[in-house]
Structure 1
Amino acid sequence: MMSTTSLFNRELLTQILRSNGWIAALYLLGLFFALPLSMIMIFTSDQQNAIPARLDNLFSLLIEVQIMLLIAVPVLLGVFLFRYFMVKQSADLIHSLPVKREKVFHHYVVMGIAFLVIPVLLIALFMLGLHLLFHLDMYYSLGDIFYWTGVSILFNLLFFFATVFIGVLTGISAVQGVLTYIFLLFPAGIMYLLFYQVNFFLYGFSRDYSLKLSIEKASPITFLININHEVLSIVQVLIYIAAIILFYVLSIYLYKNRKLERVSEAFVFSGVIPVFKYGTAFCFMLLGGTYFGETQGHWIWRIFGYAAGSLFGYFIAEMVLQKSWRVFKSIKGYFLFSAVMIGIFGVFQLDVTGFEKRLPQTSEIKKVYFGDSPYSYMDDPNVRFFEEEENIETVQNLHKEILENDERNQSASRFSRSAFFIYELHSGKQIVREYLISNIDDYASLYKPIVESEEYKEMHNEIVTIDPDDVDKISIYSHRDSLQDGASITDEKDIQEAIKLIKDDIYSETYEETETSSALESSIEVLLANNKSIHLTLKNSYETVNQWLKDKKLFDLATINADDVSHVWVMKNDRHNQEDLLNMDVETIISTMESNGIKLENKSEIQESLDAFQWDSDGLYMIAVIYKGNDFHDIGSFSGDAAPDFIRTKLD
């Protein structure tokens, strides 16, 4: 039987423990503070208040501290442990021992694993003891302990072996630490930057849909941000385990072939140098293009961002590699890089794949989703689709018109709106497109049959799909809680009537009415029996609901109307006034309107002004609503088209 002496060198293990054991001790202390101590504090507090609060999982306990420990400790440990082959004196000393090189490496790896795993296991035992001693089932279960233990060990080992892998590539500890985080964040970061560029070059590409669908799980660090709510899937676990094994195999292979004399160099393998140099230039190029393109909104600035970012990134990489700022003679490689990038961007611009013009035939389509945001689709667990052939064709007609007018939709404005399409094909494939429509009025005739269809109303108004018997309470309130407490409907019969009338008004609402609204319209909250809430707006166009509320003497409680207003100031909002008003406080704005505007005190005129009110400040007319017996004011504007006739008559 092989003796333990032949497997491990006691002196070497002791040396590693003395040099780096403090990291494990600090990790144990941090975990104790985040979990057992935090749990004891919550338990003793709830004992006094008798209000136990169930935890989503054990990561909910001081989640910020736990994330910081998971991200920082294994990387810090990897940097300190493997510093021995990055300093010439220690590298010569360690490798002069009568121990094989790979055996030395395994000693450090085993101790690193122990430093990370033992504190986690000790805290898990502590949490188990608390659970059994104080019967903490109302806070967390035994399954929560096992899940926390497994996930913590998995992420610790993943980050640790990633640090080890980067460490064998470089000869500088600082570079090792920085590159490890870049390496771990790279999948999410490069995906984010690439999607921004593709969104610019491919008309119809949905950046937000693609990002939300994949970026949170693209990097283990981005996944950790929501670890107290997200559950690690089996697929993710297998991927992370495979990555750990791959990092270990590559690390030991590279370590055995590493030239020991190449310490204090940024990279000890020549093959990594061009990858780092051109990779850095590429990432900075995307970053520069994204920044200048999104902030300035013009393609010339985007091109400037590409050029400036790539040039900056290229020379930064050269400075790191040469450890000098005198690197500007190495410009030849940059010209080669630029030529390749221009070729790649040219391919995207030409749309050789036909992405932009690809539109499925009606016979291929099983169902279609249409809305003004990808988030409304992804955040709705009960999302609905167009399935009637007539509605599918009307959606396609709108899509075709958008494609034919792509140049008109390139520039954003205050009237811009997103048009989001998802085609579910009979083949099982999906076609996803999103477009920015510069002026929705240009497509009003195509929007009208879509928005007025029953399927669209059921797709975007959850209230029409619920059973009135599932409703516990209806609350209607304005944005001014200080003016009134709002109206509550709790009687079962009244709830049945109100829900029916709301549904009737939604089904009968025209496209023109959906496009006409006031920012001062009240909100409706429908509380369901399962404690879920549905929120919608009490629109002025909901005539039957509003009349029912008036009959029930609830309308005045639920809304802001002319009776709540002392008077209104209205002023022409030319460009000069608009720029000045942006820098004024509320009192100064009202004083300016008193000097340059008109005062409305007639109730019918006040009500018309309230119905046209919008929160933005760039409409043709500025409006200030002064409420009775209240220090609060509402300041907004309305466009020339939405302004009441008497306003235009008095001010134009």
Structure 2
Amino acid sequence: MKSATSSSKSWFYPTLWKKNMARFWPVWALYGLVWLVALPLNLMTNYRISGSWSGLDEGANYFANYTVLEFAGEPSVILSAGFAILAAMAVFSYLYQSRSVGMLHALPVKREGLFLTNYLSGLSFLLLPAVAVFGLALLAEAAKGCLNAGALGLWLGCQVCYALFFYSFAVFCAMFTGHILALPAFYAILNGLATGLYMLVSAVLRQFVFGFSGIDGVERAALWRTPVAKLIDKVGATQEWDEAGAVVLAIRFQGFGYALVYALAGLVLAVLALCLYRRRSLETAGDVVAVSWVRPIFKYGVGLCAGLAFGSVLYAWLGWNLPQGAWTLLLFMLLCGAMGYFVAEMLLQKAFWVFQGSWKGCVLLLCAMTAATAVMELDLTGFERRVPDPDRVVSLTLHGPYTAPYDDGRAVRLDTSDPELIRLVTELHRAIVEEKDAIDRDRSHSGDWYGDVTLAGGTVLRDIQKAGSVQLWISYDLDTGAQVRRRYDDLFLTADMLADPDSAAARLQALINRPEVTWYGYFPADISGWKLVDAYLTVTDDGQQWAENAEKYGEEYADRYAEEVQAGRAAVPQEGWDDLLAAVQSDLKAGRIGRRYLLDDAQRQTNCYYNDLELTFYVPEGQAAGTETALAADSTQRANRDRTHSVTITVQKTATDTLAVLERLGLAGALVLRADLP
């Protein structure tokens, strides 16, 4: 029914605006109180010009120059998002009761004017307190002698942008429902729907599609459609410190452009909300979904999301007792999808008995889910079988798995444009694809992954790893500019597979043990400017602590804490540092040290000593302190600041040059093979 409100031509009604401000004062008063406490009162009561007061060592200048900008980031985003929905629920609450909506639209006012007045009323709940707090904060900073109008202006600008977007988005959501409790639910769900749906679909695709890594560009697009997360990630203050990390050199505010983009999007949403309001039927008050063409989207969307989310949860909880695989997951998804569909239908029809008239739509949803599963599981698109032509690959990145020994080279990562390495990686990739069926079958392997191994001399090694699984990610950059990515989370392997040179497991182990690959686990390409300033060899107590633990607590306890038998470190004499470094580099380049093992097997136990070399370097200013491939960014930044970097590398039996230097320095006697420990 269209309203009869067409007599007045005004686009704004001051009386209604004043009534909204007076009626819903707790919303804007509470919002203003929060910022009043956070900014001017906080400055006046807790900060002084310098020194410390009330246990706080930051002065008022620090507050005015940094804390204000810090508040413009995450705290402002969260507060704006929360109070925006409260404001929208307040000023548009009349839409959700038949009596109030009929009475208000019977008045001689335009729909456009009614919408605009209520829209501006709610927006005033957020903007007017922010302006008032801005003015009070200016006075407080002036009184403290730390006036920074620019920082406060940025804070106010962010409040305006956030308010425009989140409030407009809340009003936009309000136009789709006739139930006041559905409004905050829709608002919260739609704020995180894009990222949540992407994560759900990706998780399910990893079950269905062998090697699935992600969908190019979709993750970034999903983050843009998750405004709270995007703004928290991009908007905020950063500090630039001196090399010692003691003095702040500069404070910068970043991300205001993102806030402006969302503000413009908010204006667009406000216009769309007005269009919906003009066509809104008054009889939809009380309906969960008030727009007719959205109703099928709602019920099919709820069914799909319920199937993906709750089906995955049930599969994780109950699927261990059932055959593992995509078809078992599909059964749970179909069950949960049907339940979600009928629950949505109940909400739409405001009744519990909805099966007779809506079962056909449910069948359609379940058939679509089954067809999509079949396409993915049977690889009808050829996605799983696709391996790039090595001649078309410009560069690639490979990272994973974690390997033994557990020194600084344990995390394997390779960034290369070397044609030979590219060829080897594509051959490895092709072998993985060919072994897909065996890998899928072995995912449910329930045998003993550890056991005793008897060496040729009769020595028995206990609890040696015989099977395991590794993770591998591959990303190809093609000459067309395209990118091919694959992610394999559970590549099962055994000692027998490693013994077969044509198997994927053996190819992977051979690849990660090429000298040019192992080198980057410890050092960058060029360490000519590095200077060795300290060197140690970790030493053990020859099993004495293990024997004591075994006697007191049993062998199982002793084995569990066997890694803790290292008693200390033996310093390498300074006169031997250069020779030791040259020997380590020589062995690394020849593949005699740094050898990686996919299984903690007998070969690893008989080749690796229990001893590690710990080398500390002085790094020239401006030079990368860690490897570009193996070290995390924060570790590199910290090392650049400290200008020292340590490398830990396990001594191995095949490292002839390194062992010769240790022998000459009188340290070889401290070496203990892992296989020789009790």
**Does the pair score TM above 0.5?**
yes
Where does residue 374 of structure 2 map in the other structure? 346
1:114 aligns with 2:124: yes
Among 431, 435, 438, the residue aligned to 1:401: 431
Matches within 5 A, 1:309-388: 309-329=336-356, 330-372=358-400, 385-388=415-418
- The answer as to whether partners of 2:51 and 2:57 remain within 8 angstroms in 1 is yes
Where does residue 34 of structure 1 map in the other structure? 38
Distance 1:79 1:449, change over 3 A: same
1:539 aligns with 2:567: no
Distance 1:149 1:453, change over 3 A: farther
Where does residue 504 of structure 2 map in the other structure? 443
Among 288, 293, 299, the residue aligned to 1:271: 293
1:19 aligns with 2:23: yes
Deviates more, 1:434-443 or 1:481-490: 481-490
Among 302, 310, 313, the residue aligned to 1:280: 302
> How far does residue 423 in structure 1 lie from its aligned partner after superposition?
1.1
Cα distance in 2 between the residues matched to 1:488 and 1:45: 49
Matches within 5 A, 1:136-215: 144-207=151-214
Aligned-pair identity (%):
21
- The answer as to whether partners of 1:75 and 1:163 remain within 8 angstroms in 2 is yes
1:415 is paired with a residue whose SS is strand
Where does residue 513 of structure 1 map in the other structure? 595
Distance 1:549 1:287, change over 3 A: farther
Cα distance in 2 between the residues matched to 1:494 and 1:45: 54
> How far does residue 71 in structure 1 lie from its aligned partner after superposition?
2.6
- The answer as to whether partners of 1:199 and 1:206 remain within 8 angstroms in 2 is yes
- The answer as to whether partners of 2:72 and 2:154 remain within 8 angstroms in 1 is no
1:169 is paired with a residue whose SS is coil
Cα distance in 2 between the residues matched to 1:453 and 1:28: 63
Residue-by-residue CA offset, 1:117-164 (whole Å, 9 max, x unaligned): 233334444555555655669xxx766544443333323322211211
Distance 1:356 1:116, change over 3 A: same
Residue-by-residue CA offset, 1:420-463 (whole Å, 9 max, x unaligned): 11111222221111223111735354234422335423544345
Matches within 5 A, 1:486-525: 503-509=585-591, 513-515=595-597, 516=604
Distance 1:416 1:108, change over 3 A: same
Among 464, 474, 482, the residue aligned to 1:429: 482
Cα distance in 2 between the residues matched to 1:39 and 1:500: 58
Deviates more, 1:538-547 or 1:363-372: 538-547
Distance 1:237 1:646, change over 3 A: closer
Cα distance in 2 between the residues matched to 1:473 and 1:146: 51
Cα distance in 2 between the residues matched to 1:229 and 1:288: 39
**Amino acid of the structure 2 residue aligned with 1:75:** I
Where does residue 550 of structure 2 map in the other structure? none
Where does residue 391 of structure 1 map in the other structure? 421
Distance 1:41 1:228, change over 3 A: farther
Among 267, 278, 287, the residue aligned to 1:256: 278
> How far does residue 402 in structure 1 lie from its aligned partner after superposition?
0.8
> TM-score scaled by structure 1?
0.72
Cα distance in 2 between the residues matched to 1:135 and 1:477: 57
1:10 aligns with 2:71: no
- The answer as to whether partners of 2:195 and 2:219 remain within 8 angstroms in 1 is no
Gaps of 5+ in 2: 1-8, 239-252, 403-412, 446-466, 540-560, 598-603, 618-637
Where does residue 571 of structure 1 map in the other structure? none
Distance 1:241 1:323, change over 3 A: same
**Amino acid of the structure 2 residue aligned with 1:101:** R
Where does residue 522 of structure 2 map in the other structure? 461
**Amino acid of the structure 2 residue aligned with 1:266:** V
Distance 1:482 1:72, change over 3 A: farther
Distance 1:65 1:238, change over 3 A: closer
Cα distance in 1 between the residues matched to 2:316 and 2:69: 36
Where does residue 592 of structure 1 map in the other structure? none
Residue-by-residue CA offset, 1:52-77 (whole Å, 9 max, x unaligned): 77987746459875454233111111
Cα distance in 1 between the residues matched to 2:666 and 2:37: 56
Residue-by-residue CA offset, 1:587-614 (whole Å, 9 max, x unaligned): xxxxxxxxxxxxxxxxx9xx55xx3xxx
Gaps of 5+ in 1: 375-382, 562-603, 612-643, 648-652
**Amino acid of the structure 1 residue aligned with 2:82:** A
**Amino acid of the structure 2 residue aligned with 1:319:** M
Distance 1:249 1:372, change over 3 A: same
> How far does residue 13 in structure 1 lie from its aligned partner after superposition?
1.3
2:292 is paired with a residue whose SS is coil
Where does residue 593 of structure 1 map in the other structure? none
1:409 is paired with a residue whose SS is helix
> How far does residue 16 in structure 1 lie from its aligned partner after superposition?
0.8
Distance 1:339 1:31, change over 3 A: same
2:422 is paired with a residue whose SS is helix
Cα distance in 2 between the residues matched to 1:50 and 1:103: 52
CA RMSD of aligned residues (A): 4.3
Where does residue 82 of structure 1 map in the other structure? 92
Distance 1:468 1:254, change over 3 A: same
Cα distance in 1 between the residues matched to 2:138 and 2:436: 62
Cα distance in 2 between the residues matched to 1:283 and 1:267: 17
1:69 aligns with 2:79: yes
> How far does residue 191 in structure 1 lie from its aligned partner after superposition?
0.6
Residue-by-residue CA offset, 1:264-311 (whole Å, 9 max, x unaligned): 111222211111111100000111232234454622541232022102
- The answer as to whether partners of 1:74 and 1:157 remain within 8 angstroms in 2 is no
> How far does residue 392 in structure 1 lie from its aligned partner after superposition?
1.3
Distance 1:444 1:100, change over 3 A: closer
Cα distance in 1 between the residues matched to 2:472 and 2:111: 61
- The answer as to whether partners of 1:38 and 1:61 remain within 8 angstroms in 2 is no
Deviates more, 1:126-135 or 1:517-526: 517-526
- The answer as to whether partners of 1:384 and 1:458 remain within 8 angstroms in 2 is no
Cα distance in 2 between the residues matched to 1:472 and 1:399: 42
Cα distance in 2 between the residues matched to 1:132 and 1:476: 60
Matches within 5 A, 1:496-645: 503-509=585-591, 513-515=595-597, 516=604, 528-531=639-642, 536-541=647-652, 607-608=672-673, 611=674, 644=675
Cα distance in 1 between the residues matched to 2:367 and 2:473: 35
1:173 is paired with a residue whose SS is coil
- The answer as to whether partners of 1:169 and 1:269 remain within 8 angstroms in 2 is yes
Among 269, 288, 291, the residue aligned to 2:313: 291
Cα distance in 2 between the residues matched to 1:177 and 1:474: 61
Cα distance in 2 between the residues matched to 1:45 and 1:416: 59
- The answer as to whether partners of 1:281 and 1:314 remain within 8 angstroms in 2 is yes
Distance 1:486 1:110, change over 3 A: farther
> TM-score scaled by structure 2?
0.69
Distance 1:224 1:373, change over 3 A: farther
Residue-by-residue CA offset, 1:166-211 (whole Å, 9 max, x unaligned): 1111111100110111111111111111111222222211149989
- The answer as to whether partners of 1:84 and 1:90 remain within 8 angstroms in 2 is yes
